Amino acid sequence: MKKPPAILIVEDTKIISHLLGDLFIDVINNAIIHFASDFDEGKKLLDAYTPDVVILKMDLPGKSGIEFLSLIKENNIQVKVLIFTNEPSAYHEQLCLSMGADYFFDRSHDFEKIPEILSLI
């Protein structure tokens, strides 16, 4: 039997993180979801659970989501990474994708695209 996917949501806005969690639950049955509100908490959960998917806010308190993406890739962790930001720019999108992010979303305009992406994971 296939194990349920493990999801790590690193987002400091509680309502957004729970909306994202609800999206996962609606699209992926039996998903195991962990929530972190900053870089350090996210790193602990990443080390403890090795998720299949990370949804990562780009502008986290403390260290940035870009630094978190770098941590994932430096440690060669095989995980799908979705970057989620309020301040999208072509520069940041290109940077994140070149660093190994699988998707880059504008929180204000692309929220409705997430279920389709999740169904592919």
- 108 in a structural domain: yes
Give the CATH number for residue 38.
3.40.50.2300
pTM of the model: 0.89
What is the pLDDT, as a whole number, of residue 48? Answer: 93
Is the CA virtual torsion 41, 46, 52, 53 positive or negative?
Answer: positive
- 29 in a structural domain: yes
- 10 in a structural domain: no
| pLDDT, one tens digit for every residue, the chain (121 residues) | 577 788 999 999 999 888 888 887 777 778 889 999 999 999 999 999 889 999 999 988 889 999 999 999 988 788 999 998 888 889 999 999 999 999 998 887 877 777 777 766 6
Q: Which domain holds residue 88?
A: 15-58+75-120
Task: Spell out where 31-86 has E strands.
Answer: 32-36, 53-57, 80-85
- 4 in a structural domain: no
Q: Report the domain count for the chain.
A: 1
- 101 in a structural domain: yes
What is the pLDDT, as a whole number, of residue 120? Answer: 66
